[in-house]
Amino acid sequence: QPPPPVPQELKEVRRWEGARDVRLLDRNVRRWEGLLLPNTPPYNARAFRFELTFSPHHPLEPPCATLRTPIYHPSVDPEGRVCQPLTTHEHWTPTTRAIQVLQDLLLLLDSPDPQRVLRPDLARELQEHPEEFWHRAGEHTRLHAEPRPDPLGP
């Protein structure tokens, strides 16, 4: 049985300004949850709950990140699954850290990438009617996402 994700990695994520409230789910070291704080509108108006689940074979196998908060985004499907090349078996390396997975996820939320698509309808809308897409994304964020916590102190 390989060791679970090191507490060091959890500490590292807790110090990162891109997430808040990161903790073990059900006291299970293999399941983390927390709030992701996007940087760009309209997503940066609120916060998005994520879950990071580590395989029993971590770090030989990639963890799986899912968004628990619904988001209007071409790279996140309605179940919260994310199109994240970093966590595919082709790209994963055992030295990749949890914080890198979350940073990659945040970057994806901040800048929708037409190459990383799970919802072709939204990708098409973003390309053909961007104003409409951003308007809907903003409304959706307001309705579904969580209030942003206060910034971390010094």
Of the residues 37, 83, 101, 102, which is catalytic? 83
80: pLDDT confidence band, cut at 50, 70 and 90?
Answer: very high
Task: Write the DSSP assignment of 135-153 as a string of letters.
Answer: HHHHHHHHHHSBPPPPPP-
- Tens of pLDDT, residue by residue over 96-110, are 999 999 999 999 999
Structure pTM?
Answer: 0.91
| Cis geometry, peptide bond prior to residue 112 (ω within 30 degrees of 0) | no
Q: Which pLDDT tens digit goes with each residue over 126-146?
A: 999 999 999 999 999 999 999
The identity of residue 139, as a single letter, is E
Assign 114 to helix, strand or coil.
coil
CATH homologous superfamily of 6-147: Ubiquitin Conjugating Enzyme (3.10.110.10)
Q: Is 83 among the catalytic positions?
A: yes
Instruction: Tell me the pLDDT tens digit for each residue of 11-42.
Output: 999 999 999 999 999 989 899 999 999 999 99
